[in-house]
């Protein structure tokens, strides 16, 4: 379930029927979701790969499986989608597209093209050739970095045979060129890889920092995904962009490592997400219905402002109470049994002072009630051993708790 927010998306599941669809749906797992997209001035509509249904109005899917709107996104937009999770996508039979996907600029990157043609002649078929490229990235000294050296006119030549340092765009570009140089249709795909789950709102946050690039190659009438970055830096794929920045953002990393700060940030994001979804769906009919329930038949602007303020305040209170309940420290079973023992002793002698340790309190109880000194001392000794000797297990704690329950002094 995802929300994509602001160049951050947020994604959430839905059950309604979407309004639009595409003519062909490949086999694979279907995923339904809802997205909230911040304005960014382009007409791209973000979706999980291979969208087959969408509710966004005046939107269409291109031959490259890119969902686009008729006009640029200049205001916050919420829509629903359905996508198929699959490793291979259907390919159209348009020969112009195939020709374009195998075309290279004349005179560019001659070393890479010569290398590709030589390697292809040594390979059994196209798939074997592509695997050899991935093997080259894995076995030879290529490095993933966010600060690569500058490249000149023949960028792929310099990257493959000289610098060997770059990020996902470098590796996707090089892989695509090597595929085309061997006569295999290929294209660079840009999208997002990775997300952060917000447990408070139960949605995924996909940020612009999760942007990624990979390659799709046409094999046997299907577009097959290849990610050469994974061959060079699998941790980039597994951990995401932020973890790959090493020491580049130490202050931000330190802030995010704080559980309290991270929890507050996720809480605030959940409030914003809830507000955005409510505002986007808060049309005239919903306004009239809500105000009529409050006894206001003809709501004015002032009524709506007050109602929205009350709703936001209530949402903040609910989130605060949930946070307090969710993260309230809980006593362990051993501590609870010891507090129960002290309460029983306090009822017949005196209460334990906050600064008084277990042994001191046992001695004080023994002086006030010599008849209880032996039983009290044994229970306190057991507690000290379990708490401070590091040997407590579930069975021993349960036996101690049972002994405290049986201890009922007159």
Q: Decide the pairing of beta strands 3-5 and 8-12.
A: antiparallel
Residue 37 makes CB contacts below 8 A (sequence gap 6+) with 4, 6, 9, 45, 46, 73, 76, 77, 78, 79
CA distances from 228 to 47, 156, 246 (A): 23, 14, 21
* Highest mean pLDDT, choosing among 23-32, 109-118, 214-223: 109-118
Confidence of residue 92 (pLDDT cuts 50, 70, 90): low
pLDDT for the residue 94: 65
Catalytic entry in 168, 170, 269, 342: 168
Q: Which residues are CB-neighbours of 138 under 8 A, at least 6 positions away?
A: 231, 232
Tell me how far apart the alpha carbons of residues 107 and 125 are, in angstroms, rounded to a whole number.
Answer: 26
CA distances from 173 to 87, 187, 227 (A): 20, 9, 11
User: Is it the case that residue 248 has pLDDT exceeding 90?
Assistant: no
What global pTM score does this model have?
0.59
Q: How confident is the model at residue 332 (pLDDT cuts 50, 70, 90)?
A: confident
The yes-or-no answer on residue 227 being catalytic is yes
pLDDT at residue 363 in the model = 92
Q: What angle separates helix 394-406 from helix 333-348, to the nearest 10 degrees?
A: 20
Which pLDDT band holds residue 254 (cuts at 50, 70, 90)?
very low
Annotated catalytic residue 212? yes
Question: CA–CA distance from 212 to each of 72, 171, 237, 251, 389 (Å)?
Answer: 22, 11, 9, 24, 51
State the catalytic residue, choosing from 3, 53, 170, 212: 212
Would you call 303 a catalytic residue per the annotation? no
Would you state the pLDDT for residue 125? 95
pLDDT at 188 over 70: yes
Q: Say how far apart CA 28 and CA 140 lie, in whole Å.
A: 35
pLDDT at 264: 81
For each of the domains in the chain, give its residue range(s) and CATH number, in order of start.
3-86 (no CATH), 95-246 (3.10.620.30), 259-327 (no CATH), 333-406 (no CATH)
Rounded (10°) CA dihedral 102, 211, 67, 100: -10
Distance CA 280, CA 78 (A): 7
For residues 127-146, give the mean pLDDT. Answer: 93
Considering 126, 210, 227, 269, which one is annotated as catalytic?
A: 227
d(CA 33, CA 81): 5
Which of 269, 204, 208, 205 has its CA nearest to residue 241? Answer: 208
| 236: confidence class by pLDDT, cuts 50, 70, 90 | low
Confidence band for 174, pLDDT divided at 50, 70 and 90: very high
Residue 160 gets which letter from DSSP?
Answer: I
**pLDDT per position as a tens digit, 219-231:** 988 889 999 998 8
Evaluated on CA atoms 353, 356, 362, 366, the torsion sign reads negative
- The H or E element containing residue 288 is helix 284-293
Cβ-contact 69, 39 below 8 angstroms? no
Which are the contacts of 119, defined by CB distance < 8 A and separation ≥ 6?
129, 132, 133, 178, 182
Beta-carbon contacts of 300 under 8 Å, excluding residues fewer than 6 positions away, are none
Q: What is the pLDDT of residues 295-313, one digit of tens each?
A: 666 666 676 677 777 777 8
Q: What does the alpha-carbon distance between residue 4 and residue 35 come to, in Å, rounded to a whole number?
A: 6
Please answer whether residues 181 and 116 qualify as being in contact, where contact means their C-beta atoms are separated by less than 8 angstroms: yes
Say if residue 135's pLDDT is above 60. Answer: yes
């Amino acid at each position: 379930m995802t929300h994509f927010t602001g160049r951050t998306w947020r994604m959430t599941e839905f059950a309604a029927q979407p309004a639009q669809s595409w003519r062909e749906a490949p086999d694979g797992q279907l995923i339904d979701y809802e997205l909230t997209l911040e304005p960014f001035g382009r007409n791209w509509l973000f979706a999980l790969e291979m969208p087959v249904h969408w509710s966004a109005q005046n939107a269409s899917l291109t031959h490259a499986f890119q969902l686009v709107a008729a006009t640029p996104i200049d205001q916050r937009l919420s829509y629903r989608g359905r996508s198929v999770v699959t490793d291979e996508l259907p390919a159209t039979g348009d020969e112009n597209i195939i020709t374009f996907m195998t075309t290279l600029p004349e005179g560019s990157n001659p070393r890479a093209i010569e290398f590709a043609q030589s390697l292809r002649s040594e390979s059994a078929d196209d798939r074997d050739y592509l695997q050899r490229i991935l093997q080259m990235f894995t076995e030879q000294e290529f490095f993933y970095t966010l600060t690569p050296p500058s490249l000149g006119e023949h960028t792929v030549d310099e990257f493959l045979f000289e610098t060997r340092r770059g990020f996902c765009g470098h590796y996707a570009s090089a892989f695509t060129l090597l595929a085309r140089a061997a006569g295999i249709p290929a294209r660079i795909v840009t999208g997002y890889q990775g997300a952060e789950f917000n447990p408070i709102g139960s949605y995924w946050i996909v940020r612009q920092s999760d942007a990624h690039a990979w390659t799709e190659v046409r094999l046997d009438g299907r577009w097959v995904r290849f990610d050469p970055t994974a061959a060079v830096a699998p941790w980039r794929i597994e951990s995401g962009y932020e973890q790959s920045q090493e020491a580049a953002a130490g202050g931000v990393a330190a802030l995010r490592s704080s559980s309290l700060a991270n929890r507050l940030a996720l809480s605030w994001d959940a409030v914003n997400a809830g507000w955005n979804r409510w505002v986007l769906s808060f049309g005239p009919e919903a306004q009239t219905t809500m105000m009529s329930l409050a006894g206001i038949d003809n709501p004015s602007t002032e009524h709506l402002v007050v109602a929205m303020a009350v709703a936001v305040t209530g949402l903040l209170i609910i989130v605060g109470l949930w946070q307090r309940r969710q993260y309230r420290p809980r006593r362990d079973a051993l501590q609870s049994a010891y507090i129960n023992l002290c309460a029983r002793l306090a009822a017949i002698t005196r209460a334990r002072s906050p600064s008084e340790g277990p042994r001191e309190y046992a001695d004080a109880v023994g002086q006030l009630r010599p008849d209880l000194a032996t039983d009290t001392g044994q229970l306190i000794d057991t507690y000290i051993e379990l708490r401070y000797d590091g040997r407590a297990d579930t069975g021993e704690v349960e036996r101690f708790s049972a002994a405290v329950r049986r201890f009922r002094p007159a």
